[in-house]
Amino acid sequence: MEKLLIDLLKIPSESQNLEELNNIVDYVENFFKGTNAIIERFIFNNKPSIIISNFWWKKADIILNWHLDVVPKLEEDQFKPYKKDWKLYARWAWDMKAWVAIMMTLMKKLLKENFKDKKINLILTTDEEVWWFDWVGKLVEKWYEAKVVLIPDSGSVNEIVYSEKWIIHLNLIFNWISCHASRPWLWENAIDNLFKFYNFLKNYIENPKKIYGLKDHWGSTVSLNVVNGWVATNTICDNVEAKIDIRLTEEFDIDNLLKQIKQILKITNWEIKELLTWDILYSDPSNPFVNKYFKIAKKYNSNVSLAKEHWASDWRFFAKNKNIVLLQRPWCWNIHWKKEFVNLSDLDIIYKIYEDFIYNF
């Protein structure tokens, strides 16, 4: 498994590098040659991806899902994996090739044993870092589904994620009439309006005591992350674009919130250029599959617990089919940054949990 991981890390499969994306998919296909794997390759919007199965058809018992594409490197030597103590350092060791190595190793073992008791899909995509729409979304549309989906996008050996927040992405535009900054009374200032709207959202949605005062930070958040349009210091903008990220917990009525947002934007002359929403995600801890996975994880780590997650994953697409989804991964650090690493000893723990769950599903 460690050798496989190092091989994967050496392939610079950055999300926009189609040549290297094809190279890593080729590597995966070659890895399973000589087994009785059923291999399917697809291309959506030029992005290649691959599915390895132990059965024909699309309705599995378990889907193992993750991605082969990665964000760009920060330093040239990040292409060169190296070990220090119990850590393996390299770009993409965390996100997400360590998990891919676990899944590929386990799937190859099942295929060599001619394991047929459960129907397994290993789905490896190449557009996760650019919002997944060309791959997992398309696969769900093509009826790939399972009773349980295991995605190593969150959690740790100590945490199994069973819930994720609602997400709203607002892309806003303001088109008005510009004027000189010495006469701000002549026309509306788009930036003033933007901050009024942003402050409304912050005050309406956020509860700082939950976000900053509680250990799990399970509160709703609002972040203004992109503003484009400033021309000159002495000019009031006539065209501005803004992008806002909203993450909501279960207490919100999202339909009512969106209605209020649209009303306020209309009053302040802002328009919605793009609006993306993803429902809150939840796998009931009392579900038999969730309960079984949790008990198996406890065998290998008595400190493991169920947890909630703030960011998003491919879960959003599988949720359309009401699949049970669980997220767990090895311990790691410095995601998308220098000296990214994974704890090698944790690879074995997650491998054993996945293997035990599949055999005893």
Looking at CATH, the fold of the domain delimited by 166-278 is given as Alpha-Beta Plaits (3.30.70)
pLDDT score recorded for residue 42: 87
Asked whether residue 62 carries a pLDDT value surpassing 90, the answer given is: yes
Cβ atoms within 10 A of the Cβ of 91, count? 28
The domain locations on the chain are 2-164+280-359, 166-278
Lowest pLDDT segment from 270-279, 317-326, 351-360: 317-326
Looking at CATH, the fold of the domain delimited by 2-164+280-359 is given as Aminopeptidase (3.40.630)
Strand, helix or coil for residue 344 = helix
pLDDT score recorded for residue 268: 79
Asked whether residue 134 carries a pLDDT value surpassing 70, the answer given is: no
Q: Give percent helix, percent strand, percent coil of the chain, each to the nearest 5.
A: 35, 30, 35
Structure tokens at 53: 């199965």
Find tokens 């309705």 and name the residue. 59
Higher pLDDT, 287 or 136: 287
The pLDDT tens digits for 261-288 are 998 888 878 899 999 888 889 999 999 9
pLDDT score recorded for residue 79: 67
Q: Highest-confidence range of 232-236, 297-301, 311-315, by mean pLDDT?
A: 297-301
Mean pLDDT of 205-210: 93
Long-range contacts, 248-254 (Cβ 8 Å, 24+)? 248/165, 248/166, 248/167, 248/168, 248/205, 248/220, 248/280, 249/165, 249/166, 249/218, 249/219, 249/220, 249/280, 250/280, 251/220, 252/166, 252/205, 252/220, 254/166, 254/168, 254/279
Angle value at C-alpha 318, between 151 and 201, nearest 5 degrees: 95
Q: pTM, whole model, 2 decimals? A: 0.85
Structure tokens at 169: 């992405």
| Cα 248 from chain centroid (whole Å) | 16
